A and B are shown apart, each in its own frame.
Chain A
Amino acid sequence: MTKDIYVLIEHVQGKVADISYIMLAAARELAEGTGGEVVGILLGHEAQGLAETLAADKVLYGDHPALAEFTPDAYQKVLEKLIPEKEPRAVLFGSTTIGADVVGTLSSQLDIPLVDSCVSVSADSNVISQICGGKIMVESALEGTTSFIAMIPGHYKVESGQSDAGPEVTPIELPALDDLRVTLRQYIEPEIGDVDITQEDVLIGVGRGIQTEDNIEWIEELADLLGAEICASRPIVDQGWLPTSRMVGKSGQSVKPKLYLSLGISGAPEHVEGMAGSEMVIAVNMDPDAPIFDVAKYGVEFDLFDLIDPLMDKIEETS
């Protein structure tokens, strides 16, 4: 057993996924306790450059045409050989469309215990994960030689896992990658303009408080700055200011973004039904008694017309 913490780096179409940096930040915290190194596992094809931004001490790089984009079978073959050889203290995977495809099979095959939906870790090797949609928190302890941790975002900042130092990259030897049972035929890009608000990470919900249709454009500027999409309470859709596909609530969509920024929405039960599952709600409303403040984690009792411009300035200034 070594003291090192490994991270399976996720990337899609030549871009490192944010969860990779989040995992690196977590791995750093664990490694501080174990006294080991943070090691990234990067599998790709002519993708060595992706290692540059990773805040790892070392990156193990496997290169093969079959690894150009993620497929579970190919990753599985590489990892089932690599992990027992290296015996890291823990390996972090994303609880994502990539990590979740392989972490379970590897756990079963290599007989390595697995904890899913992990939010944070600590230097004393405790792992905090969640079940029941975050309604129950679980604290567990690393055990045995190696443990698998499947991470979800929420605790660590993406920047904490980024660095321009450029880690040392070591190529690894790969097993034969033929006879793959799963192959990627092609990617299909989402159609532009057809936004599915149920899939968005950041939503700005607008309500009757925005007063006129013209103001939607103004809120769109804010949305662009935040990489967010706009959704709305029903009256906004009724008036034709936004399409029905943007309506949140009982008669619309149920959304669960990481952030729901609610602007001028009172928080009627029919609306709340569609957004209460959001990970974090921040509500801006002039009325201190607006029921939206019962659902929001943070509230701002303020005239939104006085707040949006300073907020946009601040965002631009910061990023």
Chain B
Amino acid sequence: MTKIVVLAKLVPDLVEELEIAPDGKALDMMWLRLLINEFDNHAIEQAVLLKEAVGGEVTIISPDAEGVDDMLFTTAAKGADKLIKLVGDFEDMPNNHALASAFAKVAKEEQPDLILTGVQANNDLDGAIGPLVAKELDMPYVGYISGVTLEEGGVIARKEYPGGLIGEMEVKLPAVLGIQASEEPPRYVAISKVRQMMKSAAIDEHDVPELADTGGLPVNRMYLPEAAERAEMIEGDEDEIAAKLVELFQEIGVM
């Protein structure tokens, strides 16, 4: 039976206004609202699709955060078999090096054949989770994956390159894959199903001891980019405008 572990985390919801903490070096957690990292959501879908295709067991591991229980129950309603919550000092959102080692320890106990996680998240200051976990577990890692097929002893992972090129990678198991997109878009589950899961499913809690805060570079400051209220208007006759546009195209490297 294929054992698939999905590592999922909640990240800042960008629909909400973001604020910088008073020390100027972090996000202000007070106003932050969290939601599942969209790529992790695709990883969950891919895991469930694999389970539906070939059988197996899907375990979701996620660090504690506001709203994580609901997120986990939703994955159960989608078809996840086992829910694990990492409990510890996650309030200030640890860096990914620390989180990866916590993930790795718990994932290892599950003896997974395949670990899936989102290829990136919007708060990856010190790199994505996947490769960090892979190293901790001494597994291979391939990211930017948009399709996975299980084969004897391994998987074929479709890796995306710019311009729509796909590289078919043969990956020996156990392995960690960074999912960019699941083969089918993440499914919708009716709230009534999620509510059922809240009654019937259980979340295992794993205590995580203190997390080291290393792996990234020391942050001098965080700040909000200057937001332009309205477009800066380009004035002039058609030739002047054309020249200015070409200049802009070059600046952003599209010419």
Contact = CB atoms under 8 A, between A and B. Distances in A.
A contacts B directly (C-beta below 8 A): yes
A80 to B, nearest CB: 10
A100 interface: yes
A196 B169 contact: no
Interface stretch (A35-43, A170-178, A302-310): A302-310
Given A226-B249, A279-B252, A116 B224 contact: no
Contacts of B222: 136-139
B172 interface: yes
A212 interface: no
Contacts, number: 263
Given A115-B126, A116-B124, A103 B131 contact: yes
Contact of B131 (A101, A153, A310): A101
Using C-beta atoms within 8 Å of the partner chain, give the interface range for chain A: 35 or more
B166 interface: yes
Given A143-B217, A187-B165, A282-B245, A107 B127 contact: yes
Given A72-B141, A137-B222, A185-B156, A131 B123 contact: yes
A73 interface: yes
A97 B143 CA distance: 7
Contacts of A143: 217-218
A84 B207 CA distance: 35
7 contacts: A12-B161, A71-B169, A132-B12, A135-B18, A147-B217, A182-B169, A280-B248
Contacts of B135: 104-105, 108-109
Given A107-B127, A297-B232, A131 B122 contact: yes
B221 interface: yes
Contact of B159 (A17, A97, A113, A141): A97
Interface of A: 12-13, 17-18, 22, 69, 71-73, 96-97, 100-105, 107-109, 113-117, 126-127, 129-143, 147-148, 150, 153-154, 156-158, 181-190, 196, 199, 201-202, 226-228, 258-259, 279-283, 293-302, 306-307, 310-311, 313-315, 318-319
B255 A142 contact: no
Nearest to A314: B242
Main secondary structure of the interface of A (DSSP, over half): mixed
B86 interface: no
Contacts of B192: none
Instruction: Give 4 closest A-B pairs by Cβ, nearest first.
Output: A104-B131, A190-B164, A299-B231, A108-B135
Interface in B1-44: 12, 14, 18, 20, 27
B239 A310 contact: yes
A147 B216 CA distance: 9
Contact of A190 (B18, B163, B172): B163
Given A136-B27, A137-B225, A282-B245, A187 B255 contact: no
Given A105-B141, A298-B234, 14 more contacts: A13-B165, A102-B131, A104-B135, A104-B141, A114-B216, A116-B124, A132-B27, A135-B224, A138-B125, A141-B218, A148-B127, A184-B168, A283-B231, A314-B242
